[in-house]
Amino acid sequence: SSITLQTYASRAAKQPNAAAKALLECIERKQSNLCVSVDVTNKQDLLDVCDAVGPDVCLVKTHIDIVEDFDLDLVQQLTALSQKHDFLIFEDRKFADIGNTASLQYSSGVHKIASWSHITNAHLVPGPGVISGLAKVGQPLGRGLLLLAEMSSAGALTKGSYTQACVDEAKKDTTGFVCGFIAMSRVDEREGPNTERDLLILTPGVGLDIKGDAMGQQYRTPDQVIRESGCDVIIVGRGIYGALMTEEGKADKKAAFDKVRQQGSRYKKAGWEAYLARLGQ
């Protein structure tokens, strides 16, 4: 039957990709399909947000290249928090070069993403060589890759035959390294139930209070994303940590972090209720 009618637990039991399996198990254990996107530019804020919302999330998404004072201690502390609070880490790197270069960007440089990030993602623009290049590094480490099948921003070119090509490549990936998509809908089931290979769908562009931002972001609610569109994980950034960015929040960090925690718990509940509603419970 359609993936949307299966529980996270039953999908975890059958999942061959280690990172995807760990994520599904974590979702079930914590009753949370919430991924927080922590797009802050200093190390301590990043760690503090993860510590504040850690209990409510299954996954923390980073943009490690925006952190001004990045060092390897940051990823050690982030890893420690992922163990303390039981969440996985997803570096939203969006690899998009030929296989050989993507492989080096994944393993090496300042950030050494493969060494600490359980999940990362790639555009299929270069063709399937980007998958093999990343798989060479990530596969032996038990990592997972998401293909960017659809984006949330207005006017995105990720549509039609491009989206379909991402689905086709994921289904025929022989490395087992591709474990899902970033997408706005159940792209793997456009042509009927996907009985071939369980692929996760992680979805950004989620907000309960506003419809978008000034730079093309478009928000939908957790219910629209999980129940109506059949996606698996909601990704929420400013909806959760936004209080830290205001003048008020900068002046009173303690109050701001209370708001961050409240929003984390609010989105966690909304995501889980939408999942239960999808199952008809």
Active site residues: 94
Among 35, 130, 179, 182, binds ligand 5IU (CB under 6 A): 182
Nearest one of 223, 222, 221 to 211, comparing CA atoms: 221
Is 82 a binding residue for ligand 5IU by CB under 6 A? The answer is no
The SS3 of residue 58 is coil
- Per CB under 6 A, contacts with ligand 5IU among 187-216 are 204-205
Is 53 a binding residue for ligand 5IU by CB under 6 A? The answer is no
Is 238 a binding residue for ligand 5IU by CB under 6 A? The answer is yes
What's the token pair of residue 146?
A: 């998401």
Cβ of residue 107: shortest distance to ligand 5IU, in angstroms? 22
**Residue 12 or residue 34: which is nearer to ligand 5IU going by CB?**
34
Asked if 217 contacts 151 with a C-beta cutoff of 8 angstroms, the reply is no
Nearest one of 27, 90, 113 to 237, comparing CA atoms: 90
Asked if 188 contacts 181 with a C-beta cutoff of 8 angstroms, the reply is yes
Query: CA dihedral in degrees (119, 24, 267, 40; nearest 10)?
Result: -20
**Residue 28 or residue 61: which is nearer to ligand 5IU going by CB?**
61
What is the distance, to the nearest Å, from the Cα of residue 274 to the centroid of all Cα atoms in its chain? 18
Is 144 a binding residue for ligand 5IU by CB under 6 A? The answer is no
Phi, psi torsion values for 198, nearest 5 degrees: -75, 115
Is 51 a binding residue for ligand 5IU by CB under 6 A? The answer is no
What is the distance, to the nearest Å, from the Cα of residue 69 to the centroid of all Cα atoms in its chain? 23
Among 32, 152, 194, 221, binds ligand 5IU (CB under 6 A): 152
Q: What is the Cα–Cα distance from 210 to 14, expressed in whole angstroms?
A: 37
- Per CB under 6 A, contacts with ligand 5IU among 31-50 are 37, 39
Is 59 a binding residue for ligand 5IU by CB under 6 A? The answer is no
Among 237, 256, 257, 261, binds ligand 5IU (CB under 6 A): 237
Among 4, 33, 120, 217, binds ligand 5IU (CB under 6 A): 217
